[in-house]
Chain A
C-alpha cells in the first residue's frame, strides 16, 4: 500500500502514518498514542446514496456511511486475516465443513434490544438469503444449514469445503439485521429503513436530503470507551471541484475514496496537515479493465484482442490519467489479493506489434464503439486516451457516452462492443473473480456478470474445482486458469486501482481494516 505524506513534518508524522496504515500490530503497545475522546468529523461522500439500509442496498456510499451503523460477525485486517467483531471467536472443523461462531454477549441494538443468535440466523438464513445479491449465491450453493446452537452461538455447515466463506462476514456482505424490526414484514417497504438500527459504533441521527447524514456516538457500544468521536457528518456535495475547495477551506475533514478526483490528490497532499492513504480497500481491490464483447466481429478473435492489449499504453494511463495511483494489472486476479500469479507473460506497450497482429486479423477498418463508463471525469479522460491509442494502430474508434442507467442497461443486455469496467475482488477469486469469466454467469440484466460472452469449458471447470478444493490445491488451479485467461484476453486488464482517501492528519487510527473506508469510526480518534 502506498502511504504518502509530504512536507516538512515527515519524521514527526511517521508514527501517525504507521498507525493510520493499519499496521498497529507491528507497533509496540507503549509507542501507541493514547486515544482521545470527542470531536466532530465531516466527510464528503459521493453520490448521495439511495438508502442506508445496508442489507437492501450495497452502493459504495451506502457502505461508507452504514458500515459504522451496522456490523457483521467479523472484521479483517489489511492482510485479510479475520478479526473478532460481533463474533468473539470461531472454530472450523478439521474437515472444513462446520464453522462455529461464538457471539459477543451484552451487545445491544441501537434501540436497546439485545443482539442474540436469533438475529444472526434471521440475517444470514432469511433476510440476506432473500435480498442480498452477493450472499444469496454463496448461501444457496455452499451452505447446508445455519443453526442456533446456543443463545450466543451459531453453527454454519457447508456442503463441501469452501474456504472463501470466511471472507464473507464483512459488514457489506453480511450485515446483521435486527430480527425484531424486520421479521414478517415486507423488507423493502419497512418504514424503519429510513432510520437504520444496527449494533455499530455510530447511531443514525438525521438525514437531511441533499445535504448530509448525521451520525452520533453510540453511548452503549460494547467496547469500553469506544467509539471516540462524538459526531460524524457525511456531506453530499455534487460537484467534484467544490468538494476539493470545501476540503481546502476546512469545511470538510475527509475526502473519501471516489469523492476526490484523483488528479486533485497530489495538489491537496502538498498542504499542511493533509494525509493521503490508499489503505482500506484491500478486501475490494478494485480491478479495472476494458470489457470486450467477444461474441462477434474482430473482437471475437484472440489475435485482435492481443493487438489491442499491445496498443493501449497502460503506464501512461496510470501515470497521467490516474496521477500515478494504482498498479498496472497483468492478470485476472489482483496482485493485492490471494492466488495472484507473478509467473505470467506480460503484454508490453508495443504499437508495432499491435499493427502486425491487426494485419493478421480479419479487422477491416470497421468503427468500434467504446461506451464510456459514466463514473466521473477520470474515466472519460481514460476513454479518450484509449481511443487515441487504438486509433494510432489503425483501429477506428467512436466514443459513446451515456449515464449510469444507460450504461448499466446497455452492458447488462450485452449491447456494447467495448467499455471500461471495474470490479471488486472480495479477497478470493471464488467470490470476486470467477463471476466475470465462467460461462454459467453469461446472464442478462447485470453489468457485473460475464457480459463479454466469454465461454471456455476448461476455465469453467478450473474455477469450479478451485472454489471447493482444499487450501493446498487451490494455487495450482488458479495458476492454470490465469495462464489461459491471459492468453485469451476476454477482457483487457488495465490497472489495479487505488482510491486514495484524503484526510486531516489529526485523525488517528483512521483506516485500520481491509474495508477501512467503511468501518472507520470504531477505532478512529481525533488528536486535539
Chain B
C-alpha cells in the first residue's frame, strides 16, 4: 500500500489531479452550506458580470440566478451522474466480461456477440435515443450513459479473466472443487480490480462529458442544475454574457482533467510494468 502511494505520488500530474478532485468534491459537499438557497432561485438582476458587488463572484445568468451557486450545486449532480453511471456500467460489464472469459466457448461467443452488438450502434446516437424515449431525467441519463459505456469494461474484464484462469492458483481452486461462483468472486475478480479502477476513473470523466453533451442538446433533467445544462442555457448568450457558460465549461474541463490525471497516476501505481519511465 505504501509502495502504491509512493508510486502514485511520483506522478506529479496525478497529485495535482487529486488536489483538484478534492476541491471539487469539497464544493459538492459544501454547496448546501455555502449556498443554502436553490441554485434555480432568481436572486438578483440578470446578466450581472463576474465580481459584481453582493457576492456574485461569477456573475448571474439570464434570469438573475447566481452562476457560482449553480457551479457548486452542479458539482454534486455532475459527480453523482459520473459515479452512478460508471457503477452501473461496471455492474453490467464486469459480470458479462467475467462469465465470457471464465467459461469461454459458446457462452463466451454469445456474450461477445452481444457486446459487439452494442459496440456497433453509434454510442452517442444511442444515448440520445434512449434519453429521448424515456424522457430526460436523472435515471434515464444515467441509464443511457451506462448502456453505451459498458462494452469496453466487458472486453477488459474478459481479457484479464482469460489470462487469470490459466494461472496456477485458479487451476488449483478448480481442482480442489471450489464452486465456480466462489472462484470467480474470490480468486479471479479481485485481481482485475487494478485495471478496472484505472478504467473507471476515465469512465467517470467521459460520463460527465456525455451528460454535458446531452444537456447541451436539451436532453438534461430540468430539475437538476448541471454544468452541461448551464453551458447549454448560456451558450446562446455567449457574446454578451460569456461568463454564464464559460465557468461551467471550466468546471467540466477541470474535473475531466483531474480524473484523467488521477487515472494515469493509478495506472502508474497499479501497473508498475507499464509506467511511463520513458527513454
Direct contact of A and B (CB under 8 A): yes
| Chain A residues within an 8 Å CB radius of B222 | 372, 380, 383-384, 399-401
> Which residues on the A side are within 8 Å of B238 (C-beta)?
241
Q: Which residues of the other chain, B, contact A406 by a CB distance below 8 angstroms?
A: 135
A309 at interface by CB-CB < 8 Å: no
**A381 in the interface (beta carbon within 8 A):** yes
Number of interface residues of B (CB under 8 A): 23
Partner of B62, one of A263, A387, A400: A263
Any chain B CB within 8 A of the CB of A377?
Answer: yes
- B153-166, CB under 8 A of A: which get 1 and which 0? 00000000000000
Q: Which residues of A contact B104 (CB under 8 A)?
A: none
| Residue from B40, B62, B132, B236 within 8 A of A240 (CB atoms) | B236
User: Which of chain B's residues has its CB closest to A370's CB?
Assistant: B222
A402–B220 Cα distance when bound, in Å, is: 10
Chain B residues contacting A244 (CB-CB under 8 Å) are: 236
Residue in B132, B136, B221, B236 whose CB lies within 8 Å of A263: B236
- Residue interface bits B235-264, CB-to-A below 8 A is 1, else 0: 111111000000000000000000000000
A320 touches B46 (CB 8 A): yes
B135 near A385 with CB under 8 A, answer: no
A263 and B46 CA atoms in complex are apart in Å by 12
Residues of A within 8 A of B46 (CB): 320
Is B63 within 8 A of A401, CB to CB?
no
Measured as residues with beta carbon below 8 angstroms from the partner, the interface class of chain A is 20 to 34
What B residues does A400 contact at CB under 8 A? Answer: 135, 222
Q: What are the interface flags for A210-252 relative to B under an 8 Å C-beta threshold, 1 for contact and 0 otherwise?
A: 0000000000000000000000000000001100100000000
Measured CB to CB, the nearest residue on chain A to B220 is A401
A263 CA to B61 CA, complexed, in Å:
13
- Report which residue of B46, B218, B236 has the largest number of chain A beta carbons within 10 angstroms of its beta carbon: B236
Within 8 A of A (CB), among B71-110: none
Say yes or no for B41: interface residue by CB 8 A criterion: yes
Taking CB atoms, residues of chain B closer than 8 Å to A402 are: 135-136
Do B63 and A403 touch (CB < 8 A)?
Answer: no
Closest to B41 in A: A388
B223 to chain A, nearest CB (A): 6
User: Complex formed: what's the CA distance from A384 to B65 in Å?
Assistant: 11
On whether the beta carbons of A377 and B223 are closer than 8 Å, the reply is no
Smallest beta-carbon distance B232→chain A, Å: 8
Beta-carbon contact of A264 and B132 below 8 Å: no
By the criterion CB–CB under 8 Å, are B132 and A403 in contact? yes
Q: Please indicate the chain B residues that have their CB under 8 angstroms from the CB of A498 in the complex.
A: none
Mask of A352-393 contacts with B, CB within 8 angstroms, 1/0:
000000000000000000001010010011011101100000
Within 8 A of A (CB), among B23-54: 40-42, 46
B64 at the interface (CB under 8 A from A): yes
Which A residues are in CB contact (< 8 Å) with B63?
Answer: 320-321, 381, 384-385
A398 proximal to B (CB < 8 A): yes
- Pairwise interchain contact A384-B40, C-beta atoms closer than 8 A: yes
Also in contact, A388 and B42, with CB within 8 A (given A383-B222, A401-B218) = yes
Closest to B42 in A: A388
Question: How distant is B226 from chain A, measured CB to nearest CB, in Å?
Answer: 13
Q: How far is the CB of B240 from chain A (nearest CB, A)?
A: 6
Encode contact with B along A265-290: 1 for CB under 8 Å, 0 otherwise: 00100000000000000000000000
Please tell me if B233 contacts chain A, counting CB pairs below 8 Å. yes
Give Cα A261 to B105, complex, Å: 58
Measured in the bound complex, the distance between the Cα atoms of B136 and A374 in whole Å is 12
Assess whether A387 is in contact with B236, with CB atoms less than 8 Å apart: no
* Chain B residues positioned under 8 Å from A377 (CB to CB): 233, 236
Q: Are B135 and A387 in contact (CB under 8 A)?
A: no
Contact B40 A388, beta carbon cutoff 8 Å = yes
Instruction: Tell me the minimal C-beta distance from B142 to chain A in angstroms.
Output: 16
- In this complex, the member of A244, A320, A383, A398 whose beta carbon has the largest number of chain B beta carbons within 10 angstroms is A320
Q: Is the CB of B235 within 8 A of A267?
A: no
**A403 / chain B contacts, CB cutoff of 8 Å:** 132
Known A-B contacts A380-B222, A388-B42, A398-B223; the reply to A320 vs B236 at CB < 8 A is no
Residues in A neighbouring B236, C-beta threshold 8 A: 240-241, 244, 261, 263-264, 377
| Chain B, Cβ-Cβ closest to A316 | B42
Q: How far does the alpha carbon of A377 sit from the alpha carbon of B231 in the complex, in Å?
A: 12
CB-nearest residue of chain A to B132 = A403
When the two chains form their complex, are residues A381 and B233 in contact, meaning their CB atoms are under 8 A apart? yes
Which residues of A have CB within 8 Å of B64? 320
Contacts of A264 in B (CB 8 A): 236
Contacts of B218 in A (CB 8 A): 374, 380, 401
Interface string of A70-91 (1 = CB under 8 A from B): 0000000000000000000000
- Chain A residues with CB under 8 A of B41: 388
B170 to chain A, nearest CB (A): 50
CB <8 Å contact, A263 and B135: no
A400 to B222, CA, bound (A): 7
Whether the pair A267, B42 counts as a contact (CB closer than 8 A) is no
Find the A residue at minimum CB distance from B241.
A263
Distance to closest chain B CB from A143 (angstroms): 43
From A261, A267, A399, B223 is in contact (CB under 8 Å) with A399
Min CB–CB distance A241 → chain B (angstroms):
5
CB-contact partner of A385 in B42, B221, B237, under 8 A: B42
Q: Which residue from chain A places its CB closest to the CB of B64 in the assembled complex?
A: A320
What's the Cα separation between A262 and B118 when bound, in Å? Answer: 41
* Cα distance A400–B238 in the bound complex, in angstroms: 26
Min CB–CB distance B234 → chain A (angstroms) = 10
Q: How far is the CA of A240 from the CA of B235 in the complex (A)?
A: 10
CA A380 – CA B222 in complex, angstroms? Answer: 9
From the candidates B220, B221, B240, name the one contacting A267 in the complex (CB within 8 A). Answer: B240
Chain B's nearest CB lies how many Å from the CB of A266? 9
B240 cross-chain contacts in A, Cβ below 8 A: 267
Q: Which residues of B contact A267 (CB under 8 A)?
A: 239-240
Q: Contact between A263 and B237 (Cβ–Cβ < 8 Å)?
A: yes
Bound: A498/B21 CA distance, A: 47
**Given A267-B239, A320-B63, A383-B222, 16 more pairs with CB closer than 8 A:** A241-B235, A241-B238, A244-B236, A320-B46, A374-B218, A380-B222, A380-B233, A381-B233, A384-B40, A388-B40, A388-B41, A400-B135, A400-B222, A401-B222, A402-B136, A406-B135
Q: Name B residues whose Cβ lies closer than 8 Å to a Cβ of A.
A: 40-42, 46, 62-64, 132, 135-136, 218-223, 233, 235-240
Which 3 residue pairs are nearest across A and B when measured between Cβ atoms?
A399-B222, A401-B222, A241-B236
